[in-house]
Structure 1
Amino acid sequence: MKIFKRILLLLLAIIILVVIYNYPKLNILAGYSAKNTASSVFVANRTLAFTDTTDNNFSPVNLASDEINADKKTATASVYGLLTRKAIIREGLGSVLTLDESDETAPYLSPKRAEPDNTTPFPYGNATQKDTVFANVAYNKLNETVDAVFGKNKSRAVVVIYKDHIIAEKYADGFNKDSKILGWSMTKSVLSTVFGVMQYQQKLKVTDEAPIESWQDDERKNITIHNLLQMNSGLEWDENYDEISDATKMLFLERDMTKMQENKPLTGKINASWNYSSGTSNLLSGIVRNQFKTHQDYLDYWYTDLIDKIGMNSMVLEADLSGNYVASSYAWATPRDWGKFGLLYLHRGNWNGQQIFAEDWVNYVSTPTPTSNGTYGAQFWLNTKGQFKDVPKNMFFADGYQGQRVYILPDQDLVIVRMALSWMDENKFLKGILESIEQ
């Protein structure tokens, strides 16, 4: 009997140690599930059942049990009953994870939005586009190429826009042209564009040193906004989503996500140490905030001077508990609206006759960052080294987790949007589309 008790005590001790060791991971796991559930259900208008069987149905996130409160617009996630996280909805700001009970009733500001233009045809409005058939487009091959990335490839939407006209469009079951889909890190490209707009309006210069007060007494004072936009500041950052890292702690445990990268030391050389960092994007969001006298002005600007201005009326930028846009990760929009974003770059910042940012901003974001091996510009990804061997080298694109993409092909007058739950053979997909259009 004594031996049996000792064995039980030993097992209990082992269980306690395992729980203690894994508790931080459970915190982040439950946080991801609660946050994603709240956004999927209340921002994208999906059901809980659909969310659990698709977006949250991968290891280890599928260990969490999710519940929603439709009246209060909250979502909770629990892992084996050991830890529970809650996400709430704030009007105009999407969902956010709470850190204590007071967050649920804390006051907040919401961005002011413009009314959608539902009478002008796409792309300059949201009405049905004018029928156009291009003699140089092999529509059968085009549709075969698009169809091939659905099913096992887990595409949710593909929109192909040629000469301002949608020439192919397909959605998975449960999705349509009005479905908001999370862009993940494509949000970084939206952030970069905000800087392009601000520079065009002479509100700042990206060549200026980053206005970070805490850096003024050390070498970090020499980091420019340009270095930050290119992820080439030399600052320490761990972007690892398989473990507890700077990125996961920031997204699921921080109240103000603009501060975490600010507090990191230099571990490399400025302008010579490319390191992909979501913390840098959120630091840049904080820099945008500091250009405005009030928080309301900051919240409104992203919409009034960019997003709503080009008719991306479906887009929702989600904010952290401090009210700062999570520019690294959390922008939701319909695939067509993501397509409008690509068209803005295809037209070199000109939107239906109005210049939104300077034409040379396109050259800026698509210029390779030193030490990135030609793969990265200013919060955009590049093909300058022919990583996609059958695709023009001047293609550049917004890139998000699980295969979210907005490809911009200037010479072909082409924008391609793909939203998904998994990656695919991108070169084959893009090659097929290009081959279906005779140039």
Structure 2
Amino acid sequence: MLYGVGSDDMASFVANHDQNTQPGTQINYSTGDATLLASIIGSAVKDTYGEHYPWTMLFEPLGMSSAVYERDISGTYVGGSYAYLTTHDAARFGYLYLNNGCWNGEQLLPEYWAEQAAQLSQPLLDGGNIGEDTDGSGWSWWLNIDAPNLEIKPWLPDAPSDTFSANGHWGQHIFIVPSWNLIVVRFGDDRDDTHDKNKLLSLAMAIATAPSESSTSSPAPTEDFIEENFDTSIKINPNAPKPENPSKTKSTFVPQ
């Protein structure tokens, strides 16, 4: 769908498939479903907020000046892919959810939505899980919940159970840990799936100040700590494919 048949009008491509189950009874990881949802949202809000409503409603209020969000030929924003951000802007998005949808005193998202997004989806609670990729799914977030009765285990065993994350293509992650008031953003090329997400969060928590500690600031990590735990060298794979510059595609709007 993203690259071949159906790529011109992805939402219609998805909608024209047969329905397998009743709504609210099953859950499955699906870029197509996310894009169909983006089409529905666009139909509901663009008359009020304009064609570039993601910027009007979200990116600009958050100060996400780097945001690039692509559309297909029909004009639908690709809800399950093709969003490009700097790490700082990704952290802004994470902070919006860490702060229950509130930014600078303005409630950009309903508070109940931000809270419910980090809870297990109802189909999972009802036993409607499909496939490995749906374990611990919230509302488009991956959860770290330990639910033995549902055969769901934390995928980040050393992180708190309230941790939830946005997991993108080839190792892009926004980790949110409400109990630690912590956001960790990791962007990189992990197409071979060798990056240890659990270790990354463990190191971040080792540097951060735990909520139970009385100190008001965290000590800076020593050079020995960094050298021992982080690969600070820059390694470039000359054979890695170079993606097309999204800012030069016709389907992309980049506010000036």
Judge same fold: TM > 0.5, yes or no: yes
Mapped pair 1:287 → 2:55: no
Aligned equivalents of 2:46 and 2:85: distance in 1? 28
Partner SS state of residue 303, structure 1:
helix
Counterpart-to-counterpart distance in 2, 1:356 and 1:297: 14
AA at the equivalent of 2:155: Q
Greater shift after overlay, 259-268 or 316-325?
Answer: 259-268
Which residue of 1 is the match for residue 254 of structure 2? none
1:353, distance to aligned residue in structure 2 (A): 1.3
**Aligned equivalent of 2:137, options 376, 379, 386:** 376
| In structure 2, C-alpha distance between the alignment counterparts of 1:272 and 1:348, rounded to whole Å | 27
Larger RCO (CA under 8 A, 6+ residues apart): 1
Paired with 2:88 and 2:57, the residues of 1 have a C-alpha distance of 19
Name whichever structure is richer in strand by fraction: 1
Task: Quote the Cα distance in structure 2 between the aligned partners of 1:437 and 1:323.
Answer: 43
Give, in whole Å, the separation in 1 of the partners of 2:205 and 2:34: 32
Matched residues in 1 for 2:136 and 2:89: separation?
A: 25
Whole-angstrom CA distance in 2 between matches of 1:313 and 1:437: 27
Cα distance between partner residues in 1 of 2:104 and 2:50: 25
The answer to whether residue 183 in structure 2 is matched with residue 415 in structure 1 is yes
SS in structure 2 opposite 1:348?
A: coil
Shift of 1:315: 0.1
Of the three residues 376, 384, 390, the one matched with 2:158 is 390
Match of 1:327 among 79, 82, 89: 79
Report the alpha carbon displacement of residue 364 of structure 1 after superposing the two structures with TM: 1.4
Distance 1:350-1:297 versus aligned 2 partners, 3 A rule: closer
1:313 aligns with 2:65: yes
Q: How many Å separate the matches in 2 of 1:249 and 1:280? A: 17
Q: Is the contact made by 1:307 and 1:315 (CA closer than 8 Å) also made in structure 2? A: yes
Answering whether residue 189 of structure 2 is matched by residue 428 of structure 1, we say no
**2:46 and 2:102 mapped to 1: Cα distance?**
28
- The answer as to whether partners of 2:163 and 2:175 remain within 8 angstroms in 1 is yes
Q: Does 1:340 align with 2:92?
A: yes
Deviation, 1:426, is 0.8
1:262 is aligned, of 15, 18, 23, to 15
1:183-222 CA distance string (max 9 Å, x none): xxxxxxxxxxxxxxxxxxxxxxxxxxxxxxxxxxxxxxxx
Larger radius of gyration: 1
SS in 1 for 2:167: strand
TM-score (norm 1): 0.41
CA distance in structure 2 between the aligned counterparts of 1:416 and 1:320, rounded to whole angstroms: 30
Deviation at 1:299, TM superposition (A): 2.4
Q: Is the 8 A contact 1:281 1:328 kept in 2?
A: yes
Shift, 1:293, TM fit = 6.2
Corresponding residue pairs, total: 191
Secondary structure of 1:407's partner? strand
TM-score scaled to structure 2, two decimals? 0.69
Deviation per CA, 1:290-317: give whole Å up to 9, x if none: 21464x9452221111111110011011
Q: Quote how far apart the aligned CAs of 1:330 are.
A: 0.7
* 2:165 partner SS: strand
- Distance in 1, Cα, partners of 2:13 & 2:50: 20
Q: CA deviation at 1:280?
A: 0.5
Contact 1:404 1:420 in 2 (8 A): yes
User: AA paired with 2:11?
Assistant: T
Counterpart Cα distance in 2 of 1:355 and 1:297: 17
Which ranges in structure 1 are unaligned for 5 or more consecutive residues? Answer: 1-245
After superposition, residues 37-436 of structure 1 pair within 5 angstroms as 248-249=3-4, 253-292=6-45, 294=47, 297-369=49-121, 370=124, 371-372=128-129, 374-385=135-146, 386-422=154-190, 423=193, 424-436=195-207
How many angstroms apart in 2 are the aligned matches of 1:336 and 1:268?
Answer: 39
Whether contact under 8 Å (1:374, 1:383) holds in the other structure is no
Equivalent-residue separation in structure 2 for 1:418 and 1:332 (angstroms): 13
- Contact kept? 2:118, 2:138, Cα under 8 Å: yes
Secondary structure class of the residue paired with 2:179: helix
Match of 1:411, SS state, is helix
> Are the equivalent residues in 2 in contact too, given 1:390–1:427 (CA < 8 A)?
yes
Shift of 1:412: 0.5
CA 1:297–1:351 in 2, change beyond 3 Å: closer, same or farther? closer
Structure 2 CA distance for aligned equivalents of residues 393 and 247 of structure 1: 34
- Asked if structure 2 preserves the Cα contact closer than 8 Å seen for 1:289 and 1:298, the reply is no
